[in-house]
Amino acid sequence: MSGFGLLQILKASGKITTQDLGRKGWLHLGICESGAADEMAFLWANFLVGNVANRLANSTTLEITLGQVSLIFTAATTAALTGASTPAFLNDKPIPCWQSFRVAAGDVLRLSLPKFGLINYLAVQNGFKVQRVCGSTSICEREGLGPFNGRQLQVKQCIGYSVPNQTNPIRSVPAHYIPEYHGQNIPFMPAEKVAVSKCLSGAYFTVTPATNRMGCRLEGQAIEWVGEGGTQCVSQGMPYGAIQLPPDGQPIALLKDRQTMGGYLLLGCLSRFGGGRLAQCRPGERVSFVAISRMQAIEQLRQRNVFFGL
């Protein structure tokens, strides 16, 4: 490497955290996985700047929620922005999302409020350099875990990055790979032994303001469940994307900062793609679900991992 640069936060009306693919192997101790809320956008951001994004060499990005941030670079690098459809400007000149771009020392990157979607990912060549906690650079505010004392980045704080000796070529994501962020037909795998999970398919729900990185709270026609013990079940481990049914009949989909155990009725589980799609939905947005098989979800994940070299 030929040097070291800093990215300083000038404005942070939106929320900024560092994220990678999450903490692996800590669930048995009650430590949640965390990691990028939208894995596909995270992986594409790193792909565009030539980073290795596998579990052994996890490139760190900035996860920016609801835009409205300004950042200044102190050294030249190659960067990329993916995720929500957000107007972005480099030195007040528009730049496209889903494409890498060159940055010079003193350049200012500004993001406005997203038009569609919720979350953006900013990657730089060779990744941001921050402390790993439990093997990950992901910030989990709920547990106060991760770099920066487990808190979102604030104005005047800086995050380091290595200046590459050789810049990677400019890349862009083909248009047919760029997702359309909406809440329609989000894929999930129904629970095999719970017939009421069929109530999710074809029904519409609204994302509530209580939604966060821990889980997406939905509101719609209450799902009724009559069975021994009602919706209360024996506590069990909660996988990413688990869709729980509390006593009020309003589903909760558990996301990256979820708790590790839960005792509500399990209606099914979002696929990795479905979880990312739902994480991009804003409060007030209508969502619907479509059932897929476990094998379909596994094949989608296999193809993704092969493409990105995971």
CA distances to 8, 222, 284, 297 from 227, in Å: 55, 16, 31, 29
Burial of residue 176, with CB atoms counted within 10 A of its CB: 0-12 exposed, 13-18 middle, 19 or more buried: exposed
Strands 69-73, 286-291: pairing kind: unpaired
Helices and strands in the chain, H and E counts: 3, 20
Sorted by sequence, the CB contacts under 8 Å of residue 228 that are 6+ apart come out as: none
| Cβ atoms 223, 205 nearer than 8 A | no
193-220 per-position pLDDT tens digit: 666 666 788 789 999 999 999 999 999 9
> Which homologous superfamily is 186-308 in?
Cyclophilin-like (2.40.100.10)
Indicate the pLDDT class of residue 309, thresholds 50, 70 and 90. Answer: confident
* pLDDT score, position 1: 47
Cβ pair 75, 2 in contact under 8 A? no
SS3 of 267, please? strand
Does residue 175 surpass a pLDDT of 60? yes
Residue 232 confidence class, pLDDT cut points 50, 70, 90: low
For residue 264, the model assigns a pLDDT of: 86
* Mean pLDDT of the region 253-277: 90
Q: Which of the four pLDDT bands, split at 50, 70 and 90, describes residue 228?
A: low
Least reliable range by pLDDT among 75-79, 180-184, 225-229: 225-229
Q: What is the amino acid identity at position 290?
A: V
Give domain limits for the chain: 3-177, 186-308
Q: What are phi and psi of 283, to 5 degrees?
A: -55, 135
Does pTM surpass 0.85? yes
Q: Are 164 and 126 in contact (CB under 8 A)?
A: yes
Residue 36 has pLDDT above 90, yes or no: yes
Residues paired with 268 in a beta bridge? 190, 243
What integer is the mean pLDDT of 302-309? 90
CA 132 – CA 41 distance, rounded (Å): 22
Q: DSSP letter for 133, please.
A: B
